[in-house]
Amino acid sequence: MAAIPNLADLPAQPYWLNGDVAPMYHGQIGVYAVLDGDRTVVYVGRSRDMGASLRLCGLRQPDRCVWVKSLTLAKPDGAYLQAVQQAWRVETGVENPEVWEKPLDCRPLMTPAEETTLAQAATEGERAAVLKDVARRVEAEILARLTSHGLTFPVRFDPKRKSEGVLDARF
């Protein structure tokens, strides 16, 4: 197995370039670290398509995605990718990957009025409609934040998951 580079020794690159992640990440296999505006590592991930993964991270946590450090591989080596990811997580002390890796559950973001409407829903269909409305509201907020950051790539959320109150992005 090849030596694992220290994350601190790698250069930080801007996360966004012309409204999208840099083209050099699309289709690349590797490990990456997301850094916030203070250049503090907030997430370490690995991917078979870093461009798509970085887009997802940017959708889930747009205000925290400012810089990125990465290590790319010419061919997949799952054990090495996992070892690098784990070493970088230990190096930085970063934990709690769920907010970066899982689809967004909109239910904790419900307004008091939405919570009341959901509690009053008599049927499963009515509950699904309320959750879909919540997901649509949160989706609009996310898209507005992305636009305010100057992001231009197309985003589509799985419509079936919206009725569960979940936003699961597709590209």
Q: Cβ distance 41 to 7 under 8 Å? A: yes
Domain boundaries, the chain: 7-101, 104-170
What percentage of the chain exceeds 70 in pLDDT? Answer: 100
Considering the four listed CATH numbers 3.90.79.10, 3.40.50.12780, 3.40.50.720, 3.40.1440.10, the one that applies to the domain covering 7-101 is 3.40.1440.10
Residue 121 pLDDT > 80: yes
Question: What type of residue sits at position 12?
Answer: A
Predicted TM-score of the model (pTM):
0.88
Whole-angstrom distance, CA of residue 46 vs CA of residue 34: 11
Look over the chain and give the mean of its residue pLDDT values, rounded to a whole number: 94
Q: How far is CA 126 from CA 48, 64, 81, 120, 163, in A?
A: 39, 35, 45, 9, 10
Instruction: Say how many C-beta atoms besides its own lie within 10 A of residue 123's C-beta.
Output: 8
